[in-house]
Structure 1
Amino acid sequence: MASKSSQSRSRSKGRVTLSDVASMAGVSSMTVSRALNDPERVSEQVRSRVREAVEALGYIPNRAARSLAGQRSYSIAVVIPSVSNAVFSNVIKGIYDVCSARGYEILMGNTYYSVQQESSLIAKFLTHHPDGLIVTGLNMADSARALLQGAGIPVVQLMEVGEAEPIDLNVGISHRDAGAAMARYMLDRGYRRIGVLGAQMDYRAQRRIQGFVNVLADAGRYDEARIVTTSEPSTVHLGGQLLGDLLSAAPDTDAVFCINDDLAYGVIYECQRRHIRIPQQLAVAGFNDLEASACINPSLTSVSTPLYEMGRVAAQMLMRRLDGETIEQPVVDLGFELRARESA
């Protein structure tokens, strides 16, 4: 590594350049570019020397120059409904782990479950000329769909499959099938007076409920009085409130399916306050199988969804497309797993 005096000489010339980094690291400018943009193409030893030189000199990559030279911005735009929800935190981690390893930056946007906000974010992000875009779900405003179809970049719609024709690439699960699987499980376990609790009620939540209700109806067990939903944001506290509403309308309910684990946690806590025994008096099930679901007492029966894998596969599909590969399977159904535990 170069001395402080050589560092000062580099800094004194003004903006630190790629050549300055190359000189300090003892490699060519092309090797530095590869280490920063395609790190897998150089050895770990060289990557380490380049990193040390970048840190010592305070080098800032010129994204605009890289974009002009290679027709790439080295950025990926990601549009999700919530940055605070643990569900999307896991998805985002999968995206970051793939993109950051390839030298890509993430432009993140939060729609707050608003179709209008989603359209606005997509329009703004496209002005930054991202190399690809990841959006949540298959339903969107016609204006947003038109923007993405005309953008000329790869687009991945994630979280769900099977409900509509994707714009380009698609990875997720069938929420309708997952809801149906939980209904069959509860019926097989002998529950007959089954309720449903839902909040936020985005398209995917609606499909879970529809799949669940269809199975109940086919079995002659559907009761509209046992379906309690709200457009309010989903919280643990709300789960307890919705259970109270359900038991007021149908006190003989013997099982309840919550469209996410947050609501299910609230139901369990409310049952404990009311001295309702789980599952002897009321069985409880959730959706997404968050980390706490196996630890809560009683442990929660839930549908496990491959959240991290959705983000990882979506990002990998973008990278493959950007590398010029043909995607033989543009729609990837990652499937789900029903995790039976103490609560049901």
Structure 2
Amino acid sequence: MSAAACISFHAPTTSVVVAAASAMATAAEAAAADKIITSMKEEEEDTHTAAGRGLVRRPRAVARRLACDRRALGDGFALRRAIGRPELDSLDPFLSLDEFEFSPPAGFSDHPHRGFENVTYMLEGGFSYHDFSGHKGTISTGDVQWMTAGRGVVHAEMPGGRGVQRGINLWINLSSKDKMVEPRYQELTSQDIPAAESDGVSVKVIAGEALGARSPLQTRTPALCLDVAMRPGARLRQPVPPGWSACAYVIDGEAVFGADASAVGAHTCVVFGGGDDDGGCDGVAARTTDRASARFLLVAARPHGESVVKDGPFVMNTREEVEQAREDYRNRRNGFEMAAGWTSDHAAATAAVH
């Protein structure tokens, strides 16, 4: 996408406008010039006082909006899919982005993964897990788990309590050089996620940096992941490196993105353009109207520009690599050795009941 996709906020300097005004012949023209000068001064002041806005001069335009309808998938599980659907199969390096609802008896029993990072961020309730290395626990409301599956993980995932558990699940592709790294878990409780607030904008920095706060998470693929809450009438300009893919998923309320005139409501995914390296766009702009607040997840990451083959729980670069992953899991080798003879607590409990 070219620089035309960006929204330029550059304007003539005040001194240039003053010089033009002094050359005007009539009082009416001079009055009009004074009005322009006042407006520009207000815009300049606004640029430096709104939360985060002073760091972004060319926000990206909105390339598309996607309404994310709720789909029930079996008893106790439903999702709203933003990425990983026919209209948006992927957004390199993002493979999927879902808002999910999870309640008993639903659950994902013992299953493998290879080749990507799996991020679970809880909005409400809890999420329990147990993997073949003995790593187990529950993340609760506001907590995040950033799992690098790498060469292989086998785990189970279950609702962390009674009633509906709600969260965001994000799959981020790994580059070819990182596909076979050792698995890693990084978890932060809600209290440990860095947060910042300015001018009606509150941000929890899950990954990356915003409003001077930086997350301790180390991601294999350079990424930004923010939980943004905005009061009515608030504005945000968040830096995003040129060349990175970026989108926002509205969780609650309504917000206006880029130069759009109309707000988008809850359960809508906004995909930003202007992500090419020579586009000149340096961030994302968002604001709320005077009548409504908003909460949205802003994610961005550096794309790999590599071929992708997705097949169930495996994401590799070629069909042969996917078949190799299946063979490795079937034969408990090359990263799946610990799966031999292992059963999760969740699967064992289910077997005992039946």
Category of TM-score, reference length = shorter chain: under 0.3
Greater Cα radius of gyration, structure 1 or 2: 1
**Which protein, 1 or 2, shows the higher relative CO under an 8 Å CA cutoff with sep ≥ 6?**
2
More helix by share: 1
Normalization by structure 2: what TM-score? 0.26
Normalization by structure 1: what TM-score? 0.26
